[in-house]
């Protein structure tokens, strides 16, 4: 190999980002501002490594040499599909079945007390890959088996089209089921065999009971039926106070007067919005005034 060849190769590699090299402060500010505009998520400088690791393969796929060039593509508006992919990658959060299980016990109690003359409606407003939605559905289906619940509907939404596709398929690794009661795993899921060993598929009868849609919570919401319960768990930590207030206010407008809003058990709405009272860990109702 000649010296000229070595120099050419070195020059070619110099323009290509290594995943571990990070991005400049200017480039990070660009993607930070874009993500805030699109999703209301406020990235801190501590998230630089996450941005690099999640978007590195997109640089390779698009054939671009730098993060700056990739972010310029996103900002240009010339490739809406790539923008959606980037948003999907940066907003996806891992979840699992029966996370913070106390909330589902509270959900069951609310459903048992609900008016049997109308449909009991639940919305998972940032459902990610769907485990929360199916946990809600399993909880209500168990009540229905013993005639302890009214008719019910469960809906899930997320900003990410990629995780919504996973949610609709209902196909997961068994690692996501560590907190699921074995009886429910057996009743509502099918174990994978052969090449699908180590995975499960949510039974089609349960999948048919839920609906999914793409909704951006920081934009005006579509017209929705009133819900008895809304789940918005472990999401508000990514928003700054004004965005939190906007999102929660919009959700409360779709909640029945006696409905319950669940957030993460480590989160709080104290100081975010007035007129809410706690009715359990990470659970809030609108204050009733005489």
Which residues are marked as active site?
A: 54, 158
8 Å CB contact between 183 and 128: no
What are the two backbone dihedrals, phi and then psi, of residue 111, each rounded to the nearest 5 degrees?
-65, -40
* DSSP 3-state of 14: helix
- The first and second tokens of residue 190, run together, are 């099918």
Residue closest to 227 by CA, chosen among 283, 154, 130:
154
Distance between CA atoms of 217 and 165, rounded to whole angstroms? 18
- Tokens 């039974």 belong to residue: 203
In DSSP terms, which residues pair with 211 in a beta bridge? 155
What are the two backbone dihedrals, phi and then psi, of residue 13, each rounded to the nearest 5 degrees?
-75, -25
Burial of 276: CB neighbours in 10 Å, binned 0-12, 13-18, 19+ = middle
8 Å CB contact between 224 and 252: no
The alpha carbon of residue 121 and the mean position of all alpha carbons in its chain are separated, in whole angstroms, by 19
């Amino acid at each position: 190999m000649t010296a000229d060849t070595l120099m050419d190769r070195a020059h070619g590699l110099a323009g290509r980002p290594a995943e571990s090299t990070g991005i400049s402060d200017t480039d990070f500010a660009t993607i930070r501002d874009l993500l805030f505009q699109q999703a209301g998520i406020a990235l801190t400088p501590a998230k630089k490594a996450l941005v690099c690791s999640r978007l590195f393969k997109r640089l390779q796929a698009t054939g671009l040499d730098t993060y700056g060039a990739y972010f310029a593509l996103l900002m240009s508006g010339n490739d809406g599909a790539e923008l959606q992919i980037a948003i999907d990658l940066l907003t996806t959060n891992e979840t699992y079945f029966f996370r913070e299980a106390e909330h589902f016990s509270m959900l069951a109690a609310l459903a048992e007390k609900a008016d049997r003359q109308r449909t009991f409606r639940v919305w998972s407003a940032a459902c990610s890959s769907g485990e929360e939605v199916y946990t809600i559905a399993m909880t209500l289906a168990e009540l229905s088996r013993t005639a302890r619940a009214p008719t019910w509907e469960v809906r899930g939404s997320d900003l990410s089209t990629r995780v919504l596709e996973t949610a609709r398929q209902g196909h997961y690794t068994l690692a996501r089921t560590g907190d699921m009661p074995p009886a429910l795993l057996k009743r509502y899921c099918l174990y994978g065999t052969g090449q699908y060993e180590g995975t499960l598929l949510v039974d089609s009868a349960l999948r048919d009971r839920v609906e999914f849609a793409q909704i951006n919570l920081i934009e005006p919401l579509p017209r929705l039926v009133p819900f008895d319960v809304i789940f918005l768990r472990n999401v508000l930590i990514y928003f700054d106070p004004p965005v939190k207030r906007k999102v929660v206010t919009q959700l409360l407008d779709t909640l029945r007067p006696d409905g319950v809003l669940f957030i993460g058990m480590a989160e709080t709405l104290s100081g975010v919005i007035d007129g809410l009272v706690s009715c359990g860990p990470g659970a809030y109702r609108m204050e009733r005034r005489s």
